[in-house]
Structure 1
Amino acid sequence: MKIQNAFRVALAGTLGVGVGLLILSSISSLSTILTYIGAALFLALGLEPAVGALERRGLPRWAAILVVITGVAALAAALVLAVVPIIVDQVTQLVEEIPNIVEQVNSVDWIERLQEQFPLLAIDEISAQVSAGLTDFFTNPDQLSELLGGVWQVAIAIGGGIFAVVIVVILTLYFTASLDSMKRATYQLVPASKRARFADLTEQITQSVGRYVIGQVTLAAFNGVLSFIFLSIIGAPFPAVLAFVAFMFSLVPLVGTLTGSIIIVLVCLIPGLGSPLTALVAAIYYLVYMQVEAYLLSPRVMNRAVKVPGALVVIAALAGGSLLGILGALIAIPVAASALLIIKQVVIPRQNER
């Protein structure tokens, strides 16, 4: 078959491929900014149910937004004032205990016990090699410069994290204030004959995402508060710090509670801080708590938020985590719920009409 104007077709194809590559490269370069926007929009949708509830009680939208934002800010400030000093104090105690922990770990009794338990291992030689390696590390200028460079990179990462939090907070405030106008502008892009249906689906999706965010934060708060109470009772080291760890990890669906629980149990095993008995009790508690959360708390809290089959929840969370990290794991379940909603209310009815 002879192609008319082959040069023009080839040029158009080359330009099309070039534009596609340029778009993909731009998306890759803007991935950090897009992550900020996605996180802020996710949080704004989480605040929307509270704003809508106040609107239904007669408040104008601007007043409802002001009340919700003020309440969230007051709650965050109270949490910071109540928890952060305790965490700072306990972290300071942990840093002060590090020399004692190292001394206990490197004590002769500990080495002798290991030698008794594992007679075939040359524990003395291993300890001498480790000590020689540490001495060489701290006396070598090149390795010290690498260590300082690593410390500088950590400081830059912390500064970048603070900057990211500030940006996400600002964008969240903006999206919360302008969410209605953003949705109305999006509706205008849809043909008038399908606009009402599109608006209805959009409202269902945004409400589902909002309820999911509130539900996940509620579950994390349950875990954090109960962890603080229980760890304080059993005498675990630094219960406020460990409870904060439990809260933060519980924000990540599926694997978050398990990961946080493992970290807490391992901390309870550190010589000089906890004991095997404390770690065992903590492990039993978290095994019981995870069952209660999975079969009692989570179904009741999440029942109205998202209705996604268990297998799809696991697949969505794993895929989201692989693509976008923690943010992907957070948004994967509401995205899967939205996709199921579209399939049930759009795709299947169209197939039944044929």
Structure 2
Amino acid sequence: MKIQNAFRIGLVGTLGVGVGLLILTSIATLSTIITYIGAALFLALGLDPAISWLERRGLPRWAAILIVMTGVGLLVAALVLAVVPIIVDQVGQLVEELPRIIARVNSEDWIEALKQQFPQVPIDEINAQVTNGINDFFTNPDKLSELAGGVLQVAVAIGAGVFAVVIVFILTLYFAAALNTMKRATYQLVPASKRARFADLTEQITQSVGRYVLGQVSLAAINGVLSFVFLSIIQAPFPAVLAFLAFFFSLIPLVGTLTGSVLIVLVCLIPGLGSPLTALVAAIYYVVYMQVEAYILSPRVMNRAVKVPGALVVIAALAGGSLLGILGALIAIPVAAAALLIIKQVVIPRQNEL
């Protein structure tokens, strides 16, 4: 078969490939900005139920947004002012305790106990390697310069994090104000015959995402507060820091509470900080708490969100975390819920009609 205008076909094909590569390169370059937009839209959907509730009470939307955003800002400020000084103080105490902890770990009694506990493990070789590594780190000028560079990178990362929080907050404010307008504009892009169905599905998805965000943050806050109270009672090491870890990890659905609990129990086992008894009590508490959360708190808090099977929650959280970190793990569950909703209400009915 003879190809007519081969140059034109090749040129069009090359331009198509070039445009595709340009689009992919642009997406990669703008990945940070896209992440900010996704986080802000996610938070705006999470705050929308509270804003809508105030609107139903007779307040104009701008006033409802102002009240909700002011409340969130005051809550975050109060949390920072209450928790950050304690965390800084306790981290400072941890840094001061590090030499004593290292000395206790390297003590003869500790080494002998490990040898008796694990006779097949070369404890002396491991201890020698760790000790040599620490001594080499503190005596080598190149290592110290790398440490200084790492500290500078941490400071830059903290500054970038603060900038990201400010940008996300501003975008969240704009998205919350224009959410209804954005949805109506999106509806206009759908054919009129399918617009009502599309609008109904969109409202279900956005409401489910909003309820999910509020529910997950509420569960994380409950875990953080209860952890701080319990860890303070049993005199666990650095209860504020550990409670913050419990709150932070609980934001990750299903696996987050378990991960945070394991880390807290391991910290309670560190010689010089905790004790086996403290770790055992903490482990028992978190086992009981996870049962209470799974069978009492979570069903009540998340009762109006779209239900997602447990296996799909784990897969979605792992995939989202691999792609976008913590933000991806948070967004993955609502995305999976939205996909399930579309499959149940659109794909399956259409297949049943064939």
TM-score (normalised: structure 1): 0.93
1:343 aligns with 2:352: no
SS in 1 for 2:58: coil
Corresponding residue of 1:265: 265
Q: Is the 8 A contact 2:253 2:313 kept in 1?
A: no
SS in 2 for 1:144: helix
CA shift digits 1:144-184 (9 cap, x unpaired): 22222222222222222222112111111111111112112
Deviation at 1:307, TM superposition (A): 1.6
For residue 308 of structure 1, what is the amino acid of its counterpart?
V
Corresponding residue of 2:199: 199
Q: Which moved more, 1:124-133 or 1:325-334?
A: 124-133
Corresponding residue of 1:303: 303
Corresponding residue of 2:50: 50
Residues 129, 65 of structure 1: alpha-carbon distance in 2 compared, 3 angstrom cutoff: closer
Deviation at 1:273, TM superposition (A): 1.0
Deviation at 1:26, TM superposition (A): 1.0
What CA distance in whole angstroms lies between the structure 2 residues aligned with 1:96 and 1:293?
Answer: 36
Corresponding residue of 1:157: 157
What CA distance in whole angstroms lies between the structure 1 residues aligned with 2:129 and 2:258?
Answer: 36
What CA distance in whole angstroms lies between the structure 1 residues aligned with 2:26 and 2:296?
Answer: 45
Q: Which moved more, 1:312-321 or 1:281-290?
A: 312-321
Q: Is the 8 A contact 2:252 2:317 kept in 1?
A: no
What CA distance in whole angstroms lies between the structure 2 residues aligned with 1:120 and 1:53?
Answer: 63
After TM superposition, list the pairs within 5 Å mapping 1:91-170 onto structure 2: 91-115=91-115, 117=117, 127-128=127-128, 130-170=130-170
Residues 311, 131 of structure 1: alpha-carbon distance in 2 compared, 3 angstrom cutoff: closer
Corresponding residue of 1:253: 253
Q: Which moved more, 1:187-196 or 1:8-17?
A: 187-196
Corresponding residue of 2:210: 210
Paired residue total: 354
What CA distance in whole angstroms lies between the structure 2 residues aligned with 1:347 and 1:7?
Answer: 43
For residue 47 of structure 1, what is the amino acid of its counterpart?
L
Q: Which moved more, 1:26-35 or 1:97-106?
A: 97-106
Deviation at 1:136, TM superposition (A): 3.1
Q: Which moved more, 1:78-87 or 1:196-205?
A: 78-87
Structure 1 residue runs of 5 or longer lacking an equivalent are none
Residues 187, 126 of structure 1: alpha-carbon distance in 2 compared, 3 angstrom cutoff: closer
Q: Which moved more, 1:129-138 or 1:1-10?
A: 129-138
CA shift digits 1:261-290 (9 cap, x unpaired): 111011101111100110111112112211
Residues 130, 210 of structure 1: alpha-carbon distance in 2 compared, 3 angstrom cutoff: closer
What CA distance in whole angstroms lies between the structure 2 residues aligned with 1:42 and 1:100?
Answer: 45
For residue 109 of structure 2, what is the amino acid of its counterpart?
D
What CA distance in whole angstroms lies between the structure 2 residues aligned with 1:200 and 1:119?
Answer: 66
Corresponding residue of 1:78: 78
Deviation at 1:124, TM superposition (A): 5.6
After TM superposition, list the pairs within 5 Å mapping 1:210-249 onto structure 2: 210-249=210-249
Q: Which moved more, 1:94-103 or 1:45-54?
A: 94-103
Deviation at 1:341, TM superposition (A): 1.5
Deviation at 1:248, TM superposition (A): 0.7
Q: Is the 8 A contact 2:255 2:314 kept in 1?
A: no
1:12 aligns with 2:12: yes
Corresponding residue of 1:176: 176
CA shift digits 1:26-50 (9 cap, x unpaired): 1111111111111111001000000
Q: Which moved more, 1:55-64 or 1:291-300?
A: 291-300
Structure 2 residue runs of 5 or longer lacking an equivalent are none
What CA distance in whole angstroms lies between the structure 1 residues aligned with 2:66 and 2:249?
Answer: 29
Deviation at 1:80, TM superposition (A): 2.1
What CA distance in whole angstroms lies between the structure 1 residues aligned with 2:198 and 2:127?
Answer: 68
For residue 328 of structure 2, what is the amino acid of its counterpart?
G
What CA distance in whole angstroms lies between the structure 2 residues aligned with 1:115 and 1:340?
Answer: 53
Residues 119, 331 of structure 1: alpha-carbon distance in 2 compared, 3 angstrom cutoff: closer
TM-score (normalised: structure 2): 0.93
Corresponding residue of 1:22: 22
SS in 1 for 2:344: helix
Identity of aligned residues (%): 83
Deviation at 1:119, TM superposition (A): 6.3
Deviation at 1:116, TM superposition (A): 5.0
Deviation at 1:318, TM superposition (A): 2.2
What CA distance in whole angstroms lies between the structure 2 residues aligned with 1:31 and 1:243?
Answer: 32
CA shift digits 1:77-122 (9 cap, x unpaired): 2222222232222222222222222222223332343455566777
For residue 240 of structure 2, what is the amino acid of its counterpart?
A
SS in 1 for 2:274: coil
SS in 2 for 1:304: coil
What CA distance in whole angstroms lies between the structure 2 residues aligned with 1:266 and 1:117?
Answer: 18
Q: What is the aligned-residue RMSD (CA, Å)? A: 2.0
